[in-house]
Amino acid sequence: MTRSLDRTELGLILALPILICLAFILPKWIVNYVQVSMGTGLVALGVMIQMRAGLVSFGQGLYFCVGGYAAGMAAKFMGISDLFVLLAFGIIAALVLSTVLGFLLRKYREIFFAMLSLAVSMILFGLLSSTEELGSTDGFNLPTATYLGWAPAGETARLTLYTITCVVVIGCAIGLNRFLKGPIGYINEAIRENELRVEYLGTSAHKAVHITYVLAAVVSSVGGVLWALALGHIDPEMTNWTTSGQFVFVSILSGIGNISAPLIGTFILEVVRIYAVELSPNTWQMILGTVMLLTIIFLPKGLWSVVATKKKPEQEKLAATTPAAGE
Amino acid sequence: MLTAVAIAVDGLGFAAWLFLSSVGLTLIYGVMRILNIAHGGFYALGAYSSAWAIGLYTQTGSTIALTFLIIPLAALMAGVVSGLLVERGILRFMYGRDEVLMVLVTYAIFLILEDVTKLIWGTESYVAWQPAFYFGTIDVFTIPYTIYKFIIIGVAIAVGLALFIGLNRTRIGKLLLVVIEDREISGALGINVRRFFTVTFVIGATLGALGGAITAPEISVSPGIGAEIIVLSFAVIVIGGMGSIGGAMLGAIIVGFARAASVHLYPPAELFSIYLVMAAVLAVKPYGLFALAESRKI
């Protein structure tokens, strides 16, 4: 962790003050969307780091929901409204659940991983939808966040929450970038290419997948807590498979090339959604599906590949001419 | 005792519905190795076209008996048209791509189909209850059931038998089994694999539409039914082993009875119990109960 910052991290750190300043310049509703999409963007990040290992989680909404509900229940039943304590509740809940489930899920690959993660997230959906104490399908409201005893109100509260969201999200992104550039990040890419060879080389693919799974879960739960506090409301839709599908959609659309791609992708999607829903509410999903198909056909590595190839054409060319071993 | 009877009959009813809705999905996966999320879209198209056609027909005031002809016709129309469009228009350009990527492609198609249904039929619900009560009800140990429920069970058994005979006793069916076994070798032996793909996909789509069409009289057809059925169908075919028709039948029975049992014994657990069963089966048999043998390629 003593390495100097790479370009992505530098960019993220530079983006932080700009993001925070935006809150004072842009109209309130845009800032709101930025804040909300940072929450869901973290979940897309969780999907993306698993995609690096070739695993498509069709149930990442599970941890998004676990984070939101852990914070919500702590607020509802224990009267806690401190953001940092709520975040801790979300993280611990996701950590415990994902560590346990990881022992099961790490054995699965490809479609089976997608199906089982979907099944697990739907278990929670079924459970929450039928729990009267938690408002069943309507969910319940969260209080306004406080910060270590300081309880701002009105405009100050909004800006404080926004600023802290920015800091946490950028922090998570940098941490994940380090993770992807670290040993396990590279093992994950090797697993995607050929898992059997990874095992032959003497590394445990199961362990790497497990760690990635837990990390993705924790990041998603942080996203869930921040999203819940930004909206002030949670409901079981957070863990429905259609929600999880949108996280996968964002990761496909933006690509897995760079850590900031899913964050930007989520925001773009959120903006497109606002206008699409406004213009023609009944064709919104059709637009989404068409864009997804076109992305898969024409930009298999996502929108980020457009940015990336323009930046370093020589490196790309070099990579293209060097045949991968075993092909 | 009454609860046991209710669970048995309802379980069979659920199982028949689930089998009809998911057998097309497992067929398509077995032959094409595509886990088709768009199947939910076919189901919804079938349900809407059947409910809509029944609604139009009953307005004319003619005999209700003919609606039993309308239901399969509506399913056939919806399934063949949409199945052909999706396979010829989109999927055939994608063959050979990664299995997981195909899931995402069909997810995109599902999203498009959802809105196509909304554009054609709007967002209000359609209720076409007439066929469901045409034959009246029958008492099973003093619990009244519509005869229609037993017709669905009969149709499910007939579809299962037809598929079994079609696959194991006819020339085309046997060729299809060869394609399922090894796509490459069967292509080398002179079987037109692509044509089998098209035919299978259309049959699968039609079966999905039939599942929707036959259920339409029992439910209120409204947006979102496709998203609901597809996760249930996943549970069914994953439990049975993806690609196995016998597996789909067993999976449907397991899920159907799990759901019926929780509905009668502890209603809040209804949704939860299905996925719990699925996760439990997968924890023991990772690739389902009747998984196809898969060689590990190095």
- pLDDT score for B293: 55
Q: Which positions ≥6 away from A146 have C-beta within 8 Å?
A: A81, A82, A83, A152
Q: Are A121 and A241 in contact (CB under 8 A)?
A: yes
Percent of chain B with pLDDT over 70: 97
Two structure tokens written together for A122: 């739907």
What confidence tens digit (pLDDT) does each residue in A255-294 have? 777 888 888 888 888 887 788 778 777 777 888 888 888 8
Q: How far apart are CA B222 and CA B225, in angstroms?
A: 6
Question: CB contact, 8 Å: A26 with chain B?
Answer: no
What confidence tens digit (pLDDT) does each residue in A205-254 have? 888 888 999 999 999 999 999 898 888 888 888 888 888 888 888 888 88
Q: Which residues pair with B126 in a beta bridge?
A: B221
B residues 227..266 contacting A (CB < 8 A):
227, 231, 234-235, 238, 242
- Binary contact (A120, B275; C-beta < 8 A): yes
Single-letter amino acid, residue A318: L
Helices (H), chain A: 7-25, 28-51, 61-78, 83-105, 110-129, 154-181, 183-200, 205-231, 241-254, 260-279, 284-298, 304-311, 313-321
Q: Are A35 and A161 in contact (CB under 8 A)?
A: yes
| A114 contacts on B by Cβ (under 8 Å) | 35, 100, 103
Domain boundaries, chain A: 7-238
Interface test with B, best of A122, A137, A196 (most B CBs within 10 A): A122
CATH architecture, domain B2-284: Orthogonal Bundle (1.10)
Question: CB contact, 8 Å: B297 with chain A?
Answer: no
Dihedral sign from CA coordinates of B43, B44, B47, B50? negative
Structure-token match 């293209």, residue found: A320
Q: How far apart are CA A270 and CA A36, in angstroms?
A: 9
- Binary contact (A285, B112; C-beta < 8 A): yes
Q: Which residues pair with B268 in a beta bridge?
A: none
Question: CB contact, 8 Å: A273 with chain B?
Answer: no
Taking every pair of Cα atoms in chain B, the longest distance, rounded to a whole number of angstroms, is: 65
Task: Calculate mean pLDDT across residues B6-11.
Answer: 82
- pLDDT score for A309: 60
Structure-token match 């097309």, residue found: B24
Average pLDDT, chain A: 81
Structure-token match 């619990």, residue found: B143
Two structure tokens written together for B28: 């398509």
| B254 contacts on A by Cβ (under 8 Å) | none
Q: Which residue of B100, B105, B235 is in closest CB contact with A293?
A: B105
Two structure tokens written together for B289: 């109960």
- Binary contact (B116, A286; C-beta < 8 A): yes
- pLDDT score for A96: 92
B residues 259..278 contacting A (CB < 8 A):
267-276, 278
- Binary contact (B108, A125; C-beta < 8 A): no
Q: Which residue of A110, A118, A196 is in closest CB contact with B234?
A: A118
Q: Which positions ≥6 away from A104 have C-beta within 8 Å?
A: A116, B279, B283
Question: CB contact, 8 Å: B80 with chain A?
Answer: no
- Binary contact (B268, A131; C-beta < 8 A): yes
Cα A15 from chain centroid (whole Å): 18
Minimum Cα–Cα distance from A109: chain B residue:
B100
Question: CB contact, 8 Å: B111 with chain A?
Answer: yes
Q: How far is the alpha carbon of B207 from chain A, nearest alpha carbon, in Å?
A: 22
pLDDT above 80 (res B133): no
Task: Calculate mean pLDDT across residues A148-166.
Answer: 79
pTM: 0.82
Task: Calculate mean pLDDT across residues B6-35.
Answer: 86
| B108 contacts on A by Cβ (under 8 Å) | 288-290, 292-293, 296
User: Comparing C-alpha atoms, which of A38, A96, A51 is closest to residue A222?
Assistant: A38
Two structure tokens written together for B92: 């055939």
Cα B276 from chain centroid (whole Å): 21
Backbone φ/ψ region at B63: left (φ over 0), alpha (ψ -120 to 50), beta: beta
- pLDDT score for A216: 92
What confidence tens digit (pLDDT) does each residue in B53-67 have? 888 887 777 777 777
| B240 contacts on A by Cβ (under 8 Å) | none
Q: How far apart are CA B175 and CA B172, in angstroms?
A: 5
Question: CB contact, 8 Å: A127 with chain B?
Answer: yes
